Chains A and B, each alone.
Chain A
Amino acid sequence: MILAKQNLAPLLESMANGRDVFVPAVVDGVAKFARYGEGVEPAFDLVNTTMPPKDLLFPQTQKMYHYDVDANGSYRIYEYDESREQVVLGIRPCDMRSIVCLDEVFLTKGFVDEFYANAREKLLCVSIGCAQAAETCFCESMGIDPQLAPNADIMLQDCGDAFNVIAQTEKGEAEVARWESYLEQGEAQPVACDQSLKVSMDGVVDKLEGMYDHPIWENLSIKCLNCGTCTYVCPTCHCFDISQENRRKDGVRFRCWDSCMFSEYTAMAGGHNPRPEKLERVRNRFMHKLNFFERRYGMSLCVGCGRCVEKCPVALDITRLIDEIGATNA
């Protein structure tokens, strides 16, 4: 089936009727996935948003429960579940791959994170393929086809004037069935996405096995500011901290994004810090992206979206690191 591009706006309008639909948009100067509505102009031609879509499943701050003590001294706990039916329209294949990674973390290996699971269950993903790449895009090098997102409920391949509409799940099929009046029969040719930034992951995972004490980390970490920019704009970074705010007789427990770049992240009760310096923290972040996650889940934790390459204040560039690792004789 084909969706002519001029039908995308009316389709979005119909989808947003009674549902929260998130679209790429620039809001107050920040490109992110914003709830479609007044003041939110969809920007489907944005190659990538500055903020990743992960907050749809894993908000930067998420209330978990609140508690209070009644007059008799008994505790009461009130659980939160703020998950609701959501649609994301215009999510890119790299960001869809990031959701594969998040699913692994939050839903597998014998532990299910209920907050994530509830939000995930209620999220319908409509991916739009990329007809053009940003200078910092390198998803192809990370094994992603910029016109394919296999885990999206619906894939819209960019074919120039129209999209190929491919329902890929039951949920997606049910949704596409409601789109009938906007669709036409046929199939078009997806536009080839020309990516100029390329890196080779050949041998990188294996080489890193022997590179824990390699001088590469020293050279890399020395320029790092240890800010959290890369981790917060990363679609796959998923570390969080659980904390609480107490008032007199009540309080709230919440979790919020945390960053392995912060010294306080690994600080332990008693004062010990197993990653005391930049070197240990920078090494951990890149090892996690390119090796640890691969060993645990069989996939890279970098999807090649290029956000960290774009936003790092000191241009500490993961693509250059991958090249450097590839060039070592480890």
Chain B
Amino acid sequence: MTAQDAIRQRAKELLESGEVATFIGWEAGRFHNQTTPLVITDAADADKLVFNEYCVNTLAKYARDVVARGKVGLVVRGCDSRAIVRMIIDQVIKREDVYLIGVACPGMKDRKTDELLKKCAECRHGNPVECDELIGEAGEWPIPEGRFAEVAEIEAMAQPERSRYFESVYAKCIRCYACRDVCPCCTCRECFVDQRRENWVGKQNNVAENRFYGLTRVMHIGDRCIECGECERVCPMDLPLMKLNRKVIQDLNNLFGEFESSLSIDDSVEPLIAYDLNDREEFM
């Protein structure tokens, strides 16, 4: 049985038995090499579910949107499962709110180039880190090298080249906020950019405001980033958003020891949240 058939069958059973109220997966898109997220409540729709190498969307954040209807079933690969773990730790959802059907990720393709997506090429965990059942077996997923290669490129730049680089990046931002809206760490009930009365970020589109938005988001996600790379994938202007996220992670590693967020619900508390008398404080 293919993973797709198994997903359909399990979705059907879970919905029919009432074990879950909604089921989240992917369905075929307009084009043959495209899928789009699908949320179903009727077992009869389970046959719309697909699983192929074009399932580019990380699904976990939808669990937050539909959890009020009851238990949510969803397909999770490495990225989806880490996003779920993240949202559980952040108390957006509870573990018992979700039923996770794990599947080993084959690595997803960019429909434009038919090559492995950048986010998948950089991914460190193709297999789910948390699930209730696993379809098939966990796959081989060697950890790719060069996690901080892009950061090194930036660090190699001298001033003012680096300033110019980031100016050109943020000059392109149109502030559609797709990066925020797709991010499993961005679950504030009200985002600071939407707080118009406080006016943290002005509405003008210019490098200063765009950069302020981008950097604030990076720092706010900080040690919670799961490196799913969705922000970078969805950016319509192709901004290299993971560079800054990884810069923060690299700094965390240097300051607090090797760290990777959201690998388990029982993870020790993140370095920026934990307080330790031995914390380095050379900046004080």
Contact = CB atoms under 8 A, between A and B. Distances in A.
B182 A315 contact: no
Contact of A61 (B168, B177, B178, B204): B204
Contact of B176 (A222, A223, A232, A319): A232
B39 A227 contact: no
Interface string A45-65: 000001100000000110000
Nearest to A264: B194
A315 B29 contact: yes
B70 interface: no
Contact of A229 (B38, B57, B62, B176): B176
A180 interface: no
Nearest to B183: A225
B180 to A, nearest CB: 8
Given A314-B57, A315-B30, A256 B203 contact: yes
A61 B182 contact: no
A315 B175 CA distance: 19
Contact of A222 (B35, B66, B194): B66
A30 B238 contact: yes
B205 A225 contact: no
A28 interface: yes
A280 B181 CA distance: 17
Contacts of B35: 315
B51 to A, nearest CB: 16
Contacts of B178: 225, 227-229, 313
B62 A223 contact: yes
A241 interface: yes
B219 interface: no
Given A223-B36, A225-B182, A245 B62 contact: no
Interface residues of A, number: 42
B65 interface: yes
Contact of A60 (B30, B65, B174): B174
A178 interface: no
A118 interface: no
A296 interface: no
Contacts of B31: 135
A262 B178 CA distance: 11
A267 B196 contact: yes
Contact of B204 (A245, A262, A267): A245
B211 to A, nearest CB: 15
B175 A313 contact: no
Interface in A189-247: 197, 219, 222-223, 225-229, 231-233, 241, 243, 245
A257 interface: yes
A314 B236 contact: no
A228 B175 contact: yes
A263 B175 CA distance: 14
B168 A28 contact: yes
A315 to B, nearest CB: 4
B234 interface: yes
B69 to A, nearest CB: 10
27 contacts: A28-B172, A29-B172, A30-B237, A50-B237, A61-B206, A222-B65, A223-B38, A226-B181, A227-B234, A228-B175, A229-B176, A229-B178, A232-B176, A241-B203, A245-B202, A245-B204, A256-B205, A262-B194, A311-B236, A313-B57, A313-B178, A313-B182, A313-B234, A314-B37, A315-B29, A315-B35, A320-B30
Interface of A: 28-30, 50-51, 60-61, 135, 197, 219, 222-223, 225-229, 231-233, 241, 243, 245, 254, 256-259, 262-264, 267, 278, 309, 311, 313-317, 319-320
The 10 A-B pairs at the shortest CB distance, nearest first, are namely A313-B234, A227-B178, A315-B36, A228-B176, A225-B181, A227-B181, A229-B176, A311-B236, A223-B37, A60-B205
Given A263-B194, A316-B36, 4 more contacts: A135-B31, A219-B39, A313-B234, A315-B34
